[in-house]
Amino acid sequence: MLNPTPRSPSGLTPSNPNRRLGPLAVFHLDLPLLFGLLLLCGLGLLVLYSASGENLPQVERQLVRLGMAFAAMLLLAQINPATLRRWTPAVFGLGLIMLTAVLVAGEIGKGAQRWLNLGVFRFQPSELVKLAVPMMVAWYLAERPLPPNARTLVVTALIIAVPALMIAKQPDLGTALLVASAGIFALFLAGIRWRVILGALIAAGAALPVVWYLMHDYQRQRVLTFLNPESDPLGSGYHIIQSKIAIGSGGIYGKGWLNGTQSQLDFLPERHTDFIFAVLSEEFGLAGALVLLAVNLFIIYRGLYIAARAQDTYSRLLAGALTLVFFVYLFVNTGMVTGLLPVVGVPLPLVSYGGTSLVTLLAGFGILMSIHTHRKLLA
Amino acid sequence: MAQAQFKDHIREGQLFISRAIFAAVLVLLLLGGLVGRLVYLQVVSHEHFTTLSRDNRVKVVPVPPTRGQIYDRNGLLLAGNRPAYSLEITPEQVKDLDATLAQLAQVVDISEDDLERFHKLRRRQRRFESIPVRLQLTAEEAAAFAVERHRFPGVDIAARLIRHYPLGAEAAHVLGYVGRISRADLERIDQSQYAGTTHIGKLGIEKTYEEQLHGRVGLERVEVNALGRTVRVLESQPPIPGRDLRLNLDLRLQEAALEAFGDRSGALVAMDPRDGSVLAMVSKPGFDPNLFVEGISVKAYQALQHDIDKPLYNRALRGQYPPGSTVKPFIGLGGLETGVTGARSVTYCPGYYQLPNHEHKYRDWKKTGHGPMNLDASITQSCDVYFYQLAHEMGVDRLSTFLAQFGFGEPTGVDLTGELPGLLPSREWKRARKRQPWYPGETLIMGIGQGYFLTTPMQLAAATAAFANGGAFHSPRVGAELLDKETGLHEAMMADSRSIPIKDAGNWKTVSEAMLHVVEGARGTARIIRSDAYHIAGKTGTAQVFSVAQEEEYDEATVAERLRDHALFIGYAPAEAPRIAVAVVVENGGHGGSVAAPIVKRIMDIYLQEQP
């Protein structure tokens, strides 16, 4: 800002004058954020090697996915936020069409209808929607006076609720939660009035019995199990009991890499996917868990910093919402694994084995980087 | 940016910053809560979860000990452990279970029952655990499978040790058998010692010496995974095998006795009078104890149960027979020791006896009477009238008290379970059990070992041994010594003993000479077993099964086989320094002298004259 230079008209050419970015500036990458993400992914691969039972091919597959995800990040970092903003309604519309398609003709896997077979590859439209919803909310709110008035709120609520409910219908409660929270964060950051928030919370509390009624049996079971895991130690409570044993027995310094008995002897279910945090906590103890949380905290800090420095409402809201969604991933997953929250299928971001969420998450960080590196230098 | 002019960008920026700060604080609070949770789990409750984690993965697996073997006194194996082969399938390793079973059935016989048991077990067990599909393969079947084995991945022959009694029925009533541990067994044993053990002594020596034969369980601490599969052994404490047991039993005698019995039922007990060792114990007919080891089929069991000869019935321990005339030497000794009679006192035998002022005639077995009888002659010829008179003079109280010293009326304390006490009648017994007074006539028939009086062959043998050795009553001992294979230590088992008080050793000599005359005297009732090689002392007996009415006569020919008298004989040899005492009961055998005594002679011949 102290050193204004003329900006290139194209969104794809290097425009940031910040020399601290050095040679990477040409790729529109934010070095601190990239550093945090690489650190987290590296830590994740280390834990995954142990959690997979020293299954190197599995680690290699994850590495390939990470490569693809980082490529997606790099790609999105190149897109000028202004361009992204123009495309936003189209992306959102596409997301809704694909969600509809999934409900009509999706493939069923593990009892839920989530996949769309595009011939070449299978695709989970809900992942696209995870980005499309905060984009759309940001897009909509950016053009309206803030804090939002009643009409704006209703429209925003629809933008959030329609895709979230469609995903919940698949049923995929975890993703619906993430999608809804992404939109809600954008709304929150836009300055929605506290009394509206309070009113919404009261309404939500009142709606709980209705939600309970609408829930699937397995979802209700998860909630009940969360409230009292010991009631069903061999059934659905098994996950949470074993996870707590793994974490608790890890102690302060852990049992050592590859030496977690809960993980290595198969007592811990889903240990390389949703419950990988328990593997980390068992083998590296409280110390390892704190390191992981610190890295995550740094990423969140950097994300919020980028949002705060963003120059227009769209960028700000989008960057803030994406960062907070990342936190929701982190908190819902670790909360679930430590028994603070009910079991909801949310992976530990960038650590859990699995491709779809990786691409979405890193694409989101690509958007953050783009926002940060495409800043116009206004006085 | 059409609506941009309505927006206050600076205010929006500030609003955003304040909201972002709020969000950041919320993030920190929530992460703080998470860290608090982690501290609670990993620091505060660490011990608790460490215990749970260890309980998860460490399992203690019992390693059952090998059961001790049982030998006879000459080292012949009576009960051993034989590998039994079974065909087992590990479902996890089999692709198509039904096809494999079908193909297996072409190699070895697999019955419907086998399949049913297999599928029942399969539902209960884990997929990586092997499940028996056929038990007790024959050697031929095992060989047939071995040739075809390559065709059956996941199918294996498993060997384990099962109890085996190589001699079958010969010593069944002594050895007893082992069987699967039942619920009732579980209630009385130390279950931790039987973890992993499937069988337990049910009867006989196998039961009496269960603790010593069983050994002590070993333990393996193993690490298991979530499926229960053992990953590695952490610690191993080997089991202590059961000790071998050598019995006093001499199988040669056992076999000879069985052979001598022929087709007849009955029981024989031979003891060493010097120490109470049981040299032979036969109850005929016997049964094959091997049938019980793996669980006898209902059909086979019912066949044994309903057999008219009652092969499962241990006659030596539980058969309660009237001792008949075999009790006369003891009563004679009682008469002398209590001073009621003297060696030279004579009673005239007219063929019957009448109580003063009573009409009833108590008959002698010899209708014409024996004439004047002293004690020696009355034992030699088994005169009943002499003993009617003697019993009458002694009275039931003195009779009962004296006979009790020889162990009549109570268990001998032999090291076998299930022994019955017989019945030594007394005034008190009759009042308590029958609520009737004692009648003098009952004393008379007690004097010839009839009436309420009941003894087991074991009691008769123990009493004979006690008399033979001059007054030391030894509880019979079947077990001789325990051998610890690892340390080589022997532990001999001593019989419990007590002394019978002796007033005058001359009285004992008088009676023993009379018993010698039973075999060696010209009119002795067992003179047919006289041996030139050594002297046998003994007494014949006949026990009524069927009571003969007052004026009738007992006619062997007309009485059905099963209602015929039991033939008894007690004896010991060599008479001057007894090394063996024998009691035998031959059911429905008729006369003691002609049927029972020769069996005893066979036993004595072998024991005293043949080298093992």
Domain extent, residue A298, equals: 39-78+216-374
CATH fold for domain B251-482+493-609: Beta-lactamase (3.40.710)
What count of other Cβ atoms lies within 10 Å of the Cβ of residue B80?
16
Contacts of B57 in chain A (CB under 8 A): 261-262, 265, 267
Confidence of residue A19 (pLDDT cuts 50, 70, 90): very low
Q: Which residue of B has its CA nearest to A327?
A: B27
Are residues A340 and A306 both part of a single domain?
A: yes
Q: Do A327 and B27 touch (CB under 8 A)?
A: yes
Instruction: Between B154 and B532, name the one with better pLDDT.
Output: B532
Segment A252-277 mean pLDDT: 89
CA distance B29 to chain A (A): 11
Q: pLDDT tens, A280-291?
A: 999 999 999 999
Residue A165 corresponds to which tokens in the numbers above?
A: 């409910």
> According to the per-residue pLDDT averaged within each range, which of A106-115, B487-496, B519-528 is highest?
B519-528
Render pLDDT for A330-371 as a digit per residue (tens, 0 to 9): 999 999 999 888 877 789 999 999 767 899 999 999 999 999
Report if residue A237 sits inside a domain.
Answer: yes
Measured between CA atoms, how close is A306 to chain B, in angstroms? Answer: 11
Are residues A340 and B34, on separate chains, in Cβ contact within 8 Å? yes
Q: A238 and A206 share a domain? A: no
Tell me, what's the pLDDT at B185?
Answer: 85
pLDDT greater than 70 at residue B138: yes
Residue A83 predicted with pLDDT over 90? yes
Chain A neighbors of B25, CB-CB under 8 A: none
Domain stops at, among A215, A248, A272: A215
Every domain of chain B and the residues it spans: 62-247, 251-482+493-609
Instruction: Report d(CA A161, CA A150) in Å as an integer.
Output: 16
Quickly state the pLDDT bin for B408 (edges 50, 70, 90).
very high
A368 and A222 part of one domain: yes
Query: pLDDT at residue A224 above 80?
Result: no
Determine contact, residues A292/A352, Cβ cutoff 8 Å: no
Backbone torsions φ then ψ of A252, nearest 5 degrees: -75, -45
User: Which residues have CB under 8 Å from B206's CB, separation 6+?
Assistant: B70, B79, B175, B176, B177, B178, B213
Q: How far apart are CA A16 and CA A25, in angstroms?
A: 7
Q: pLDDT band for position A12 (50/70/90)?
A: very low
Do A67 and A128 lie in one domain? The reply is no
The pLDDT assigned to B481 comes to 93
Assigned domain for A105 exists: yes
Nearest CA to CA, how far is A189 from chain B (Å)?
5
All residues of chain A having their beta carbon less than 8 Å from the beta carbon of residue B15 are 146-147, 190-191
A207 and A67 share one domain = no
Which of A232-246, A340-354, B88-102, B175-189 has the least mean pLDDT? A232-246
Query: What are B185-237's pLDDT values in tens digits?
Result: 888 888 888 887 888 999 999 999 999 999 999 988 888 887 777 888 888 99
- Secondary-structure class of domain B62-247 per CATH: alpha beta
Q: Assess whether pLDDT exceeds 80 at residue B94.
A: yes
Of the ranges A69-78, A265-274, B188-197, B298-307, the best mean pLDDT one: A69-78
Whether A307 and A345 share a structural domain = yes
| Percentage of residues in chain B having pLDDT higher than 70 | 96
Q: Which two tokens stand for residue B230?
A: 């053992």
Confidence of residue A236 (pLDDT cuts 50, 70, 90): low
Query: How many structural domains are present in chain A?
Result: 2
Local confidence band at B590 (pLDDT 50, 70, 90 cut-offs): confident
Please answer yes or no on whether A265 and B56 come within 8 Å at the CB atom.
Answer: yes
Mutate to test the interface with B, among A141, A149, A185, A189 (most CBs of B within 10 A): A189
pLDDT of residue A57: 93
A147-161, B178-192, B307-321: which has the minimum mean pLDDT? B178-192
Q: Name the residue among A143, A188, A297 with its Cβ closest to that of B19.
A: A188
Which has more confidence, A111 or A362? Answer: A362
pLDDT > 70 fraction of chain A, expressed in percent and rounded: 85
Average the pLDDT over each of A69-73, A259-263, B244-248 and give the range with the smallest value. A259-263
| Closest in A249, A293, A297 to B53, CB measured | A249
Q: Are residue A346 and residue A246 in the same domain, yes or no?
A: yes
Residue A191 lies in a domain: yes
- Burial class of residue B262, CB neighbours in 10 A (0-12, 13-18, 19+): exposed
pLDDT, residue B334, reads 94
| Per-residue confidence (pLDDT) for residue B496, from 0 to 100 | 87
Please indicate whether residue B325 is annotated as part of the active site.
Answer: yes
Residues A103 and A59 in one domain: no
On whether any CB of chain A is under 8 Å from the CB of B50, the answer is yes
A167-216: pLDDT as tens digits:
888 878 788 888 999 999 999 999 888 998 899 889 888 888 888 888 77
Model pLDDT, residue B13: 84
Choice between B158 and B264, residue whose per-residue pLDDT is larger: B264
Give me the catalytic one of B86, B265, B283, B325: B325
- Closest CA in chain B for residue A265: B225
* pTM, 2 dp: 0.70
What pLDDT was estimated at residue A233? 66
Task: Say yes or no to pLDDT of B430 above 80.
Answer: yes
- pLDDT (tens digit per residue) in B39-58: 999 999 999 999 999 988 88
**Weakest mean pLDDT among A272-276, A322-326, B106-110:** B106-110
- Over range B506-513, report the average pLDDT: 93
Which of A251, A308, A339 lies closest to B17 in CB terms?
Answer: A308
Question: Which of B9, B16, B226 lies closest to A265 in CB terms?
Answer: B226
How many percent of chain B have pLDDT more than 90? 53
- Does residue A309 form part of some domain? yes
Chain B residues near residue A265 by CB distance under 8 angstroms: 56-57, 223-226, 231
Helix (H, G, I), strand (E, B) or coil at B593: helix
> How far A335 CA lies from chain B's nearest CA (Å)?
7
Same domain? A164 vs A297: no
**What is the DSSP code (8-state) at residue B592?**
I
Residue B2: pLDDT band (50, 70, 90) is very low
Same domain, A210 and A234: no
Q: Is residue A33 part of a domain?
A: no
Does residue A179 sit in the same domain as residue A92?
Answer: yes
Q: What is the pLDDT of residue B309?
A: 83
- Residue with the larger pLDDT of the pair B64 and A85: A85
pLDDT number for residue A118: 60
What does pLDDT average to over chain B? Answer: 88
The DSSP annotation for A35-54 comes to HHHHHHHHHHHHHHHHHTTS
Cβ neighbours of A297 in B, within 8 Å: 27, 31
Domain boundary among A188, A215, A242: A215
Spatial contact of B105 and B133, defined as CB atoms under 8 Å apart:
no
pLDDT band at A25 (very low <50, low <70, confident <90, very high): low
Residues of B in contact with A143 (CB under 8 A): 1-4
pLDDT attached to residue B552 = 54
Residues B432-438: contacts with CB under 8 Å, at least 24 apart = B438/B396
Q: Which of B23, B35, B50 sits opposite A290 (nearest CB)?
A: B35
Maximum Cα–Cα distance across chain A = 67
Dig out the tokens for A49 from the structure: 């090697």
Q: What is the mean pLDDT of residues A296-323?
A: 94
For residue B463, is pLDDT > 90?
yes
A161 and A258 in one domain? no
pLDDT tens-digit map of B535-561 = 999 999 988 875 554 555 556 655 666
The average confidence (pLDDT) of chain A is 85
Which residue pairs from B480-484 have beta carbons closer than 8 angstroms and sit at least 24 positions apart in sequence? B480/B73, B480/B245, B480/B246, B480/B247, B480/B248, B480/B277, B481/B245, B481/B246, B482/B68, B482/B209, B482/B212, B482/B243, B482/B244, B482/B245, B482/B246, B483/B243, B483/B244, B483/B245, B483/B246, B484/B243
